[in-house]
Amino acid sequence: MHEEIKNFDIAVLGGGPAGYTAAERAASGGMSVVLFEKNALGGVCLNEGCIPTKTLLYSAKLYKQFQNGAKYGISGENIAFDYSKIAARKTKIVRKLVAGIKSRMNEHDVTVINKEAKLENVNASFFTLSDETETYRARNMIICTGSETVVPPIPGIENHEYWTSREALASKEIPSSILIIGGGVIGMEFAALYNSFGCDVTVIEALPEILGNADAETAAFLREEYAKRGVKFYLNSFVTAFTEQGVEIKNNDGIQTLTSEKILLSVGRRPRWNGIGLEQLHLETSGKGIRVNENMQTSYPHVYACGDVTGFSLLAHTAAREAEVAVNHLLGKNDTMSYNAIPSVVYTQPEIASIGRTEKELSEKGIEYKTLKLSMNYSGRFVAENEGGNGFCKLLVDADGLLLGVHIIGTPASEFIVAAGMAIDRKIPINEWKKTIFPHPTVAEILKECMFA
Ligand SMILES: Cc1cc2nc3c(=O)[nH]c(=O)nc-3n(C[C@H](O)[C@H](O)[C@H](O)COP(=O)(O)OP(=O)(O)OC[C@H]3O[C@@H](n4cnc5c(N)ncnc54)[C@H](O)[C@@H]3O)c2cc1C
C-alpha cells in the first residue's frame, strides 16, 4: 500500500510571527496551507520573547508605581511582590495567546503539524517535506524558522553556568545579583526588570554605548537613568574569560573579575535554518541570513523567507510584515517590502521608541537634516502621569520638510511611534502632518509640539 501524500499550495516552516501570519494570510487568500511548528505556535515572540518579557515588565512597572505612590498622593504599606506569582501569570498569558493563534489557524483551515519539518527532495513542480511519519508536498515554501541566541566562544564558557533569555524567562525567582553580558535591547529590558525587583544588576557592553545602533542621545539618557537607580555599567569592556572566580573583563582600566549569582548572556541572535534539508537548495545568503528580494523571494524559485531567518531586523513586527509581502506576491498582488520605517522599542521605564534614521546614519551618509527637539514635559498628559519624569522627543527633518527619523524617550512612546512611521513611510511633509488633529491630552501630542518647535 502506498503512503498517502498530502498536497498543499504552500508549506510554511515555523509557526512564529512570520509563519503564522503567512499561513493565515495565504489561507484567507484561498490557498491550502500546511504549517510546521516543532515547538509551540507563536514562536520565540509569544513563548520566550516579546510577550513574556512585556508581561514581566508590566508587573515590574506596577511594583515601582506602587512604591512611588506617595508622589501621587497615594500611600500604602508593605508593598511587596511575589515573583513566583508574577512568573505564573506570565505563563498564563503566554498559554492564552498561543491558544489564540491555534484557534486562528483552525478558523482558517491551516493544517498545523506539531513536528519538525524536513525537506526531503525537490522537483520541478513541488517540494516534498516530511515530519518523520508523514509526507507532504507543496508547490511553494515559506521559510520562517527564526533565530537562536548567539553563544560567543569565550574561553571557559563551556564549564560555566549561564542564562540566556530563555532560562531567565523560565526562572521563578529573582536572583540577588546578575551580570548581564550585552547591553542591547534584550539585555537592557532584563536589566530594567531585575533592577525594579531589587536585584543588583551589572551590564557589560563592548561598545562605547548601550543599545547598539540606537540614537546615541536616547541610549545615553536611558543608561544615566538606570545608573541613578543603581545599575552598574561597564562600557568599552570585553569579556575575556569565564573562570572559577567569575567573569573576567578587559577595558581601559585593565583586567578585572566580576562575580554575581547569575550571568545572563544577551549578545545577540542569529538566523537558523540548518539541518533540515534546505542545504540542497543552495540558497544565497546575505551575510546576515537568507538573502531575499523585495518580494521576500529567495534565490530558489517558489521559495520565500521571512522573519528573523533573513537576519534583517530581528523584530516580530518586521517578520509579520515580510510574511504579508511574501503571501501577496504569491497571490499575484502588488506589494513590496520596505525597511524605511520599522519601529524599534525598548520597553524599559522610560520607554524608548525610534523609527527611521539616526543622526549618526545621516551624518555618515552626508544627508543634511535639522533637529526639532523638545522635552517630554511639553506634553500635559506626560507631566500629569510622570511626576518628576523627564525625557525628550526628537524629529529629524530634511530640507524638503520630510521626516527622516524620530527618537523618543518617554512612556508610552511605543504606543504612538506608529504615527511617525506613517509620516516617514508615506512621505507626508511636516507642513501637512502638522494639520493632523491629535487628541488632547495625550502624550502623542509631543509629536505635534515638536513639529512647531
Ligand atoms: C527575550 C526576547 C524579547 C523580544 N522582544 C521583542 C519585542 O518586544 N518586540 C519585537 O518585535 N521583537 C522582540 N523579540 C524578537 C522576536 O521574538 C522575533 O523577532 C520574532 O519572534 C521573529 O519571528 P519569526 O517568525 O521570524 O521566528 P520565531 O519567532 O523564532 O519562530 C520560528 C519558529 O520556527 C520553528 N521552527 C524552526 N525550524 C523548524 C522546523 N524545521 N520545523 C518546524 N518548526 C521549526 C521554531 O520552533 C520557532 O517556533 C524578542 C526576542 C527575545 C529573545
The partner residues of 429 in beta bridges, in order of sequence, read none
Residues 132 and 195 grouped into a single domain: no
Average pLDDT over residues 31-60: 98
Count other Cβ atoms within 10 Å, centred on residue 87: 20
Residues 386 and 309 grouped into a single domain: no
The reply to whether 399 falls in a domain is yes
The reply to whether 335 falls in a domain is no
Cα separation, 24 vs 109, in Å, equals: 9
Residues 142 and 161 grouped into a single domain: no
Number of domains in the chain: 3
The reply to whether 175 falls in a domain is yes
Q: How confident is residue 3, by pLDDT bands cut at 50, 70 and 90?
A: low
Helices (H), 108-215: 165-170, 185-196
pLDDT in the model for residue 320: 98
CATH assignment of the domain containing 376: 3.30.390.30
From the CA of 17, how far away is ligand 1's center (Å)? Answer: 7
pLDDT above 70 coverage of the chain, percent: 99
Q: Is the pLDDT of residue 1 over 50?
A: no
Cα separation, 107 vs 123, in Å, equals: 32
The reply to whether 338 falls in a domain is no
Residues 141 and 284 grouped into a single domain: yes
Strands (E), 49-176: 111-113, 118-122, 127-130, 135-143, 147-149
3 state SS of 107: helix
Whether residue 152 has a cis bond before it, omega within 30° of 0: no
C-alpha cell at 335: 506589494
Q: Name the domain boundary from 216, 243, 267.
A: 267
pLDDT digits (tens, 9 = 90+) for 351-374: 999 999 999 999 999 999 999 999
Residues 6+ apart with CB under 8 A from 107: none
Q: Name the domain boundary from 227, 242, 267.
A: 267
Residues 26 and 86 grouped into a single domain: yes
3 state SS of 90: helix
pLDDT in the model for residue 248: 98
- Where does ligand 1 bind, in terms of residues with CB under 6 Å? 13-19, 36-39, 43-45, 49-50, 53, 116-117, 144-147, 165, 186, 276, 307-309, 314-317, 319
Phi then psi dihedrals of residue 168, to 5 deg: -60, -40
Average pLDDT over residues 269-281: 96
SS3 content of the chain, % helix, strand, coil (to 5): 35, 25, 40
Ligand 1 atom at minimum distance from 19 CA = 25
pLDDT above 90 coverage of the chain, percent: 97
From the CA of 4, how far away is ligand 1's center (Å)? Answer: 32
3 state SS of 328: helix
| Torsion sign, CA atoms 275, 21, 318, 223 | negative
The reply to whether 336 falls in a domain is no
Ligand 1 atom at minimum distance from 40 CA = 49
Q: State yes or no: is 440 an active-site residue.
A: yes
- Sequence letter at residue 286: S
Cα separation, 268 vs 249, in Å, equals: 18
The H or E element that residue 353 is part of is: strand 352-356
Residues 105 and 162 grouped into a single domain: no
Residues 182 and 60 grouped into a single domain: no
Phi then psi dihedrals of residue 70, to 5 deg: -60, -30
**Cα 116 vs. chain centroid, distance in angstroms?**
24
The H or E element that residue 392 is part of is: strand 392-397
pLDDT digits (tens, 9 = 90+) for 42-53: 999 999 999 999
Q: Whose CA is nearest to atom 3 of ligand 1?
A: 49
pLDDT digits (tens, 9 = 90+) for 162-213: 999 999 999 999 999 999 999 999 999 999 999 999 999 999 999 999 999 9
From the CA of 44, how far away is ligand 1's center (Å)? Answer: 3
Residues 120 and 33 grouped into a single domain: yes
Strands (E), 32-188: 33-36, 111-113, 118-122, 127-130, 135-143, 147-149, 177-181
Residues 140 and 44 grouped into a single domain: yes
Cα separation, 97 vs 346, in Å, equals: 22
Mean per-residue pLDDT over the chain, rounded: 97
Residues 437 and 375 grouped into a single domain: yes
Cα separation, 183 vs 36, in Å, equals: 34
Task: Report CA dihedral (309, 314, 317, 318) to the nearest 10 degrees.
Answer: -60
pLDDT in the model for residue 312: 87
User: Which of 216, 208, 224, 157 is CA-nearest to residue 407?
Assistant: 216
The reply to whether 403 falls in a domain is yes
Residues 6+ apart with CB under 8 A from 13: 19, 36, 117, 129, 141, 142, 143, 144, 145, 276
Count other Cβ atoms within 10 Å, centred on residue 124: 5
Cα separation, 322 vs 339, in Å, equals: 10
From the CA of 316, how far away is ligand 1's center (Å)? Answer: 7
Average pLDDT over residues 277-282: 96
Q: Whose CA is nearest to atom 33 of ligand 1?
A: 14
Q: Is the pLDDT of residue 2 over 50?
A: no
Q: How confident is residue 161, by pLDDT bands cut at 50, 70 and 90?
A: very high
3 state SS of 123: coil
Q: Name the domain boundary from 225, 250, 267.
A: 267
pLDDT in the model for residue 346: 98
Quick check: 105 and 23 in contact, CB under 8 A? Answer: yes
CATH assignment of the domain containing 298: 3.50.50.60
From the CA of 332, how far away is ligand 1's center (Å)? Answer: 27
Residues 313 and 278 grouped into a single domain: yes
3 state SS of 183: coil
pLDDT in the model for residue 132: 85
Domain, as residue range, for 355? 344-451
Strands (E), 235-295: 238-242, 247-251, 254-258, 262-265, 269-271
Q: Which of the listed residues 12, 25, 45 should we mutate to test ligand 1's pocket, taking the one with most ligand atoms within 8 A of CB?
A: 45
Q: Whose CA is nearest to atom 7 of ligand 1?
A: 50
Q: Whose CA is nearest to atom 2 of ligand 1?
A: 49
The reply to whether 298 falls in a domain is yes
Residues 58 and 99 grouped into a single domain: yes
Residues 6+ apart with CB under 8 A from 209: 216, 219, 220, 223, 235
pLDDT digits (tens, 9 = 90+) for 97-155: 999 999 999 999 999 999 999 999 999 889 999 998 999 999 999 999 999 999 999 99
The reply to whether 443 falls in a domain is yes
Burial tier of 228 (Cβ tally within 10 Å: 0-12, 13-18, 19+): exposed
